[in-house]
Structure 1
Amino acid sequence: MTHAEILKKVEWKDLKSLSIKEMLIENNLTIPWVLTSWVLAYLGYYILALPFSAFFFLTGLRQVHNGFHNSLGTNRFLTWFSLYTNSVLMMASIHAVKFNHIRHHKYCLSEEDYEGKSAGMSWYGAIFYGPVHMFLIHKITLQLGNKKYVKNVLLELGSIAIFTFLVFYFNIAFLIYHIIVMVIGEFLMAFFAVWTVHHDTEEHPELARTQRGGWKNKITFSMFYHLEHHLFPAVPTIKLPQLAKRIDDVLPELEKKTTF
């Protein structure tokens, strides 16, 4: 079944809009995690802070991912501001990630898809490839992006550099911890954000892997409904469980490879 045929069979356009409550959730989901991790790290409880830092990184990915597809329910400036602030907090230019992610949807797992390069690797190969992945997506955006993308990437990289300099210059221990953990998270993106959801899907790249286990989706904040996202990228993450149910009801025969 083709992508176009799936689009015709599944009702999805009503899922694009967010209520005020849903909009507030999507735009503020990161706050309790980052604040809790900072407080614990400030008090010296670095091990206890780690899971909160991990959930901040995950919810940050969810937030910017919705921003890539204009699914945060906010205006253009607030969406931009979300991408900018998360760039500084997550230690990577999110506009560079956005540029490559939009190309990923257009050229999924082809030679032009730089985000998806690790999908064809072994799991350990994708982990070792992580630092190259992060360097490449910045390089490609600066080479192929329009002036607006280049301007945003340079602004974000400059802001990250200033933030990092100030943190280390004033020796702010809890923020040094935060920077180190975020850099590690970025280096694992090729594995967690690409390989896990796309490995062994080369024959039908648009049919990414997905996750149906209830508790698994709760602890990953619905970020592994990736089949659903690739088929209907305009649907916000908070609506993906509803979308998944509609797909299962209408197309029970559709192959669904499990993420984990």
Structure 2
Amino acid sequence: MRHPSLASIEWQDLRQLSLSETVYNIFLSLPFLLLSWWSAWQGWWLLALVATFFFFTAALRQAHDCYHRTLGVGVLATELMLFFLSITMLCSTHAIRHTHLNHHRDPLGDSDVEGNWARLPWYQAILGGGLFSIAIQWFGLTHGSRRNRILVGIDMLLIVAVIGTAFITMHPVLVYHVLVMILANTMVGFFAVWSVHHGCDDVVYARSERHPLINLLTFNLLYHIEHHLFPAVPTNHLPILAKRLDAAAPQWAQQPVIPFLAPALTPVNKYQKSSVINKTNSLDAEVSLIKES
């Protein structure tokens, strides 16, 4: 059962992706990765860092879509994409998948290892980012299915191989990539979790950004309450979903991710927990994904 304010929102039509959207999803991060490597090879470090930022942000979106099977490809292609992302992002995306789906099952609840990072002060969320990266991967490894633990093990072997190759060969591009990916992974807890969940609770449990430039630069990842309420909708279509949410139930999206870029808003209408029977309109599908991982 959905909350009454969400029942009138059409979303099923947003699940389908066109061929061009699927191709876009598959190759989204690759141009930025190649640009970052080429720039590092040329010694253009500032351009390399900018390209790496966009690569990692785009890769986060791709991994996120893989977790929810909204990339637009089948199961095998999804697993292969996660292996590619594990190698290039230097984190086990198969482990994080299980942790992230648990985050959707119990957002900001007692078992939410990922989301509860948002309860920290901002400076602790930044300084402890390395611990966050370890924690979400460890939870996925120790709580996932046997199949998922095997996939995580493969991830880890591939990651070790990449890091080992970088420091054995001391190839400048590989060393650069390894170092910046380690740094990027320490910042995920702040930028991908704290920023979209801080100040929220287990009823209205995520923020959402409406600034068009910010959403362009972050590949629509900051439409976060929309994603939590309708996790089966691909990231491509979250801007459309956001407009429908704003028209039918604007109170759900009154906490911006970057407050100083947003107009003054009235306080969020906090729904009573008893009125929220189900936290997402596709929870059964999410639970199924959790069991598989």
Measure the CA separation in 2 of the matches of 1:105 and 1:249.
24
State the Cα deviation string for residues 91-113 of structure 1 (Å, max 9, x = none): 10001111100000001111200
Deviations 1:33-79 (A, max 9, x none): 00001000011112221010000000000001000000011111111
Q: Identify if the C-alpha distance between structure 1 residues 156 and 6 changes in structure 2 by more than 3 Å, giving closer, same or farther.
A: farther
1:59–1:255 distance in 2 versus 1, CA, 3 Å: closer
* 4+ residue runs over 4 A deviation: none
Deviation, structure 1 residue 11: 0.2
Q: CA deviation at 1:120?
A: 0.6
Shift of 1:205: 4.3
Q: RMSD over aligned Cα, in angstroms?
A: 1.3
For structure 2, list consecutive stretches of 5 or more residues without a partner in the other structure.
Answer: 259-293
Give the match's secondary structure for 2:7. Answer: helix
User: Which residues of 2 match residues 105-254 of structure 1 at below 5 A?
Assistant: 105-206=104-205, 208-254=206-252
Note if contact 1:198-1:205 (Cα within 8 Å) is conserved in structure 2.
no
Q: So what's the TM-score if we normalise by structure 1?
A: 0.96
Structure 1 spans left out of the alignment, 5+ residues: none
87 and 6 in structure 1: CA distance in 2 versus 1, 3 angstrom threshold: farther
Match of 2:81 in 1: 82
Q: Percent identity?
A: 36
Partner Cα separation in structure 2 for residue 152 and residue 6 of structure 1: 40
Secondary structure of 1:61 counterpart: helix
What's the offset of the Cα at 1:126?
0.5
Q: In the alignment, which residue of structure 2 is the partner of 1:18?
A: 17
Partner SS for 1:242: helix
Q: Distance in 1 between matches of 2:235 and 2:5?
A: 19
Task: Number of aligned residue pairs: give it.
Answer: 258
Query: Does the Cα contact within 8 Å between 1:109 and 1:205 map onto a contact in 2?
Result: no
Letter in 1 for 2:25: E
Deviation at 1:203, TM superposition (A): 5.0
Per-residue deviation, residues 136-181 of structure 1 (Å, max 9, x unmatched): 1222122211101100111001100011111211111111101111
Counterpart Cα distance in 2 of 1:131 and 1:197: 19
Deviations 1:98-137 (A, max 9, x none): 1100000001111200111211111111011211111112
Is contact 2:6-2:248 (8 Å) kept? no
Distance between the aligned counterparts of 1:114 and 1:101, measured in 2? Answer: 9
